[in-house]
Amino acid sequence: MLTGRQKIIYTNNSPDTLHALHMNLYVNAFRKNSRMHRYHEERDKYYGGSLISYVPEAYLGYSKVQNIRDELGRLLSQREDDTLLEITLAEAIPPGGVCTLTLDFEVKIPAQIRRMGRFNREGVSFSIAQWYPKLCVYDHRGWHKNYYLAREFFGEFATWDVSITLPAHYIVGASGHLTNADNIYAMMMSEPESTSMDRVLPSNGNQDSIPEGVESLQRNLAEITRQQSVTVPNRTWRYHAEDIHDFAFAADPDYKVEMFDHRGVRVNLLCLPDVEQRWAPMKEWVTKIIDYMEAHVGRYPYPELTVAQAGDGGMEYPNIVFITGRRGNFSLASVTAHELIHNWFYGLLANDETHEAWFDEGITSYYTTRLMEHLFGRYANREYETEFQKKWFPREDARIATFTGWAHWVKQGYEEPVLTHSDYFKSDPSYSMATYYKGQIFMNALEYRYGRERLDSLMRDFFEVYQKHHTLTDDFKRFLEYKTGEKLDSLFDQWLNTIEYCDYGIAHITNSKNAAGQNQVKVKLVRRGAITMPVDLYLKLTDGSWTGVRIPARHDDPNKPGLKRWTEWPASDPTYTLTMITDLPVDRAEIDTSGRLPDIFRMNNRSGFLPKTEWHWQRPLGILPTADTYVIEHRPSLWYNQTDAARIGWKMRGKWATDEHQIKAGVYAGTRSRTIDYEITYSTPMYSIGRQVFVDMASYKLDGVFQNELSFRKKWFGGAYERPPYYDVSLGLRTSRRFNSTYLNPGVFWEKGDVHVLTASLQWQPQIFDSPRLKMTVETSTFASDYTFTKADLTYYKPWVLKRNVATLESRIFAGLADGNVPLQDQFYLAGASPRQMFVNPWYRSGGTLPEKGWRDASGQRHIYYDGQGSMAGYADSNALGMHIIAINLDLKLTNPLKPLIKKEILFITQFEPMLFFDAGGVSGKSGKRRHSIPSLVFDAGCGFRYLPAFIPSWMGNYAIKAEFPLWVSDPSLAGQSGKSWAFRWLIGFENAIR
């Protein structure tokens, strides 16, 4: 419980008479049934709802205000509504008038839920923000009364004197300047070393259907109770601050403090002992961040700056930032940079974050990227932790990642205007794409427009004039207009108020001789998007030299150093032809070589039929393409099967930055078979047709099969982006023929002849976590097929969480029906995947790749297993197949019993997931040459485990090895070792993702 007394001296700087004052009581958001609670219950229902639902009443929070009196001691009436409080004044405040209020408040500090609270997930005792009754802003737009829904803030500048009294062993970091420092440090020195208490440091457990943080929250509740019972003497920390608009503090008994002075600023770094090592470079980063911001934006005008390990991610407050500490190097550097940079924008330019979040987040993100490039270089400045990774993924680049992430979003049609109220974006990704990403992109567009030097000088001037004032996007626009003499309405409007896009392209170049015999080049340009921008066009002459021109979109567009100014491209014209006399013919033309023009389709920014292409040796994670390069990675390939023997080949894959036009291809030669095989696949999202539409094509001749495929897929989301229910529909055509059967594994049947089919499938998933899933497929033979048939199947899967993180029962039903003449490779298999499904996986595709004995040992048992279809491992030896199938599979998945006992992850011991299974099923119906069906229902049961090799890093994909021991079968005549229901049978396979 926090009790406080607040005295406010309020000056009415507006021309209006104020009869009432409005305040925010943010902590009331942490009550059950608050607006924030309801907002997140509804908005995040597929993610488990609001965190508040998981916290017992005793650990929630509230804020209570009492005794509001004016300077004459009159008790004022108040009306509370969720996170807002209205105070009716006894006497109105005239323009220029001053009113003094005193009030008492009481805050029950909630467990850490959103931004503030007790015991965050890293164990910091107090992260105290948005805690006191805070005056709403009154400006020319009126009162800014926003209910707190967990997003942004807006507050009045003031002079502050704040005293914080806490038990003496706490170390505090806060906004403002500590005025009784000598006193406090002297007292602390004279005390015995550790007065702090042991704590439970929660780990980041794997939480499925409950919101992030619930688990650690619950563990911390016990600790809160324990600490509340401890009584120790108090100590008071006194702070003074001027010209800041919010006040936050963090406190913990175990904080390690590093203090230093940098350019007249006292910097305090506070972290818990367990992250001290990771925080070692913090001092260097913070000094470089301050230096960079002071050089490019303006001076940090306060005496102190604190970086505290606290909160629930990264959050900026004036003079103090809260950062969670358990992060990798780049993440820690970039969050620190981002939150500190906010002190220049949110802090000093004090925009209204609720209505114009981009003006803070977008500009801050733009400088964050610049700072990361400054600290670590243009490339490899994100994500990667080790030198090894840096070496292997050197193209990782925050600037391009921002651009491609955003371009992808725009092309999918999910964009919302940047200047949307923060609380009304359709989804969280939509909010961050508009404010962080597009805000940054807009700053890039300004840098493109002016060049960096000019933009920096404009920003410095703007900051100088507007710091310590509330600033709006419009102020920024008008300031630029005033400084440059340009009219910027259309620029700001198009980028910030609409979802139009920018796309320029080069149609063609022609070189010719004019009447005077000079070389004359004509470059035809096209504009496809509605947004108009100046076009920086670069021309490469045949001798390799470059020349550049700027084609203005408006008469008052600025000149850019190094570029000749050309004639205007009027907004009315979709095309433009530049005619120019050059010394030599022009070889190539390129629009914007800097990558700063936010042109969402950069492939056409270069002349020539083919886009700019780069070839690289393939790397595990792939090379990140730059925005205007098609990247092809290639590598040799070596494989083995019984027919080809060693198979030597060469593979390549190509990709565009926004996932368009993905090509994979390979050519292989069998050393024994002397045959040449090939495969080529092409897939691309079809943005022009609609959201989430993809086309896939494949053609191959591989291991005795010749096949061609074409399919269209479309995904639907239930509501906003990536919200369930999910639907996935595909339609396709497949022609295939096996012309060589010597490749087949023992016991795998595949009939020769043409099998041509039309396929349709539907998948459905109604929730995110613990969701049932349904998949239906229909296949029917088509023209020129040697087999005439129709088949349909259905898979329904549902998990039942018996006890979270302990036991889950996964149930599955598989049913199939077929009619006509179905080739053996396409019939239904009781035990596992059909031959056609196995063909997709190269390990299972052909004989000899996996040991032949595994497919059929001396006693007729199969040990290699590929899960799928009836999924009854107990009957793997029988190869039972047919025209009709029904199977029910129940898997009880358990946590490794050793896991709670062994704290550390130990390879080969803690990474096993045991399970028990029981299946029932049968196949029937005869078609074609053979009959393998079994007449009645059979059952099997056993145990097994999944092994998740954690030494394979997650970026390489998810691998799992599955072992199954079907110890009991109801019909032993179908299961190898005949006559025995109970026997030791074992099967091993790679996890199949069909489930």
Binding site for Zn ion (CB under 5 A): 361
Nearer to Zn ion, 184 or 372 (CB): 372
Query: Token digits for 121?
Result: 């997930």
Instruction: State in angstroms the smallest separation of the CB of 340 from Zn ion.
Output: 10
Distance in angstroms (rounded) separating the CA atoms of residues 844 and 828: 18
Instruction: State in angstroms the smallest separation of the CB of 885 from Zn ion.
Output: 55
One-letter amino acid for residue 463 of the chain: F
Contact 595, 496 (CB under 8 A): no
Distance in angstroms (rounded) separating the CA atoms of residues 269 and 281: 11
Instruction: State in angstroms the smallest separation of the CB of 342 from Zn ion.
Output: 6
Distance in angstroms (rounded) separating the CA atoms of residues 948 and 956: 13
Nearer to Zn ion, 361 or 940 (CB): 361
Nearer to Zn ion, 370 or 550 (CB): 370
Instruction: State in angstroms the smallest separation of the CB of 808 from Zn ion.
Output: 38
**Which of these, 485, 491, 500, 393, lies nearest to 446 by C-alpha position?**
491
DSSP state of 605: S
Nearer to Zn ion, 199 or 342 (CB): 342
Nearer to Zn ion, 310 or 589 (CB): 310
Distance in angstroms (rounded) separating the CA atoms of residues 438 and 366: 10
Instruction: State in angstroms the smallest separation of the CB of 357 from Zn ion.
Output: 9
Instruction: State in angstroms the smallest separation of the CB of 358 from Zn ion.
Output: 11
Instruction: State in angstroms the smallest separation of the CB of 436 from Zn ion.
Output: 7
Element (H, E) at 464: helix 452-466
Distance in angstroms (rounded) separating the CA atoms of residues 982 and 218: 45
What would you report as the CA-atom Rg of the chain, rounded to the nearest whole angstrom?
34
* 3-class secondary structure per residue, 885-935: EEEEEEEEEECCCCCCCCCCCCCCCCCEEEEEEEEEEEEECCCCCCCCCCC
One-letter amino acid for residue 143 of the chain: W
Nearer to Zn ion, 361 or 779 (CB): 361
Nearer to Zn ion, 215 or 361 (CB): 361
One-letter amino acid for residue 772 of the chain: P
Instruction: State in angstroms the smallest separation of the CB of 360 from Zn ion.
Output: 7
Nearer to Zn ion, 337 or 472 (CB): 337
Query: Token digits for 155?
Result: 């507050």
Nearer to Zn ion, 54 or 476 (CB): 476
How buried is 333 (Cβ within 10 angstroms: 0-12 exposed, 13-18 middle, 19+ buried)?
buried
Strand partners, 864: 988
Instruction: State in angstroms the smallest separation of the CB of 34 from Zn ion.
Output: 24
Cβ atoms < 10 Å from Cβ of 540 = 16
Instruction: State in angstroms the smallest separation of the CB of 496 from Zn ion.
Output: 18
Nearer to Zn ion, 361 or 891 (CB): 361
Instruction: State in angstroms the smallest separation of the CB of 316 from Zn ion.
Output: 6
Q: Which residue is nearest to Zn ion (CB)?
A: 361
Nearer to Zn ion, 361 or 592 (CB): 361
Query: Token digits for 653?
Result: 């894959």
Instruction: State in angstroms the smallest separation of the CB of 111 from Zn ion.
Output: 24
DSSP state of 434: I
Nearer to Zn ion, 151 or 527 (CB): 151
Distance in angstroms (rounded) separating the CA atoms of residues 779 and 141: 62
Question: Can you tell me whether residue 399 is helix, strand or coil?
Answer: helix
Interior angle at CA 847, CA 844 and CA 851, nearest 5 = 85
Nearer to Zn ion, 361 or 826 (CB): 361
CA-to-CA separations, 655 to 411, 505, 646, 685, in angstroms, rounded: 16, 20, 29, 12
**Unique residue bearing structure tokens 């009027």:** 570
**Which of these, 522, 472, 495, lies nearest to 345 by C-alpha position?**
472
Contact 345, 351 (CB under 8 A): yes
Nearer to Zn ion, 356 or 361 (CB): 361
Instruction: State in angstroms the smallest separation of the CB of 338 from Zn ion.
Output: 5
Counting DSSP H helices and E strands in the chain, the numbers are 16, 47
Instruction: State in angstroms the smallest separation of the CB of 345 from Zn ion.
Output: 9
Nearer to Zn ion, 59 or 300 (CB): 300
Query: Token digits for 810?
Result: 């996964």
Instruction: State in angstroms the smallest separation of the CB of 364 from Zn ion.
Output: 5
Distance in angstroms (rounded) separating the CA atoms of residues 589 and 541: 9
Nearer to Zn ion, 361 or 590 (CB): 361
Instruction: State in angstroms the smallest separation of the CB of 452 from Zn ion.
Output: 22
Question: Can you tell me whether residue 500 is helix, strand or coil?
Answer: coil
Interior angle at CA 106, CA 103 and CA 109, nearest 5 = 145
Instruction: State in angstroms the smallest separation of the CB of 366 from Zn ion.
Output: 11
Interior angle at CA 590, CA 588 and CA 592, nearest 5 = 160
Instruction: State in angstroms the smallest separation of the CB of 361 from Zn ion.
Output: 5
Distance in angstroms (rounded) separating the CA atoms of residues 534 and 548: 13
Distance in angstroms (rounded) separating the CA atoms of residues 642 and 673: 9
Cis preceding-peptide flag for 725 (omega within 30 of 0): yes
Question: What share of residues in the chain are helix, strand, coil (percent, to 5)?
Answer: 20, 35, 40
CA-to-CA separations, 597 to 442, 534, 536, 593, 687, in angstroms, rounded: 9, 9, 9, 9, 21
Nearer to Zn ion, 322 or 855 (CB): 322
- Extract the runs of DSSP E, i.e. beta strands, from 925-993: 938-947, 961-969, 987-990
**Nearest 5°: phi and psi at 305?**
-145, 130
Interior angle at CA 259, CA 256 and CA 261, nearest 5 = 170
Nearer to Zn ion, 339 or 891 (CB): 339
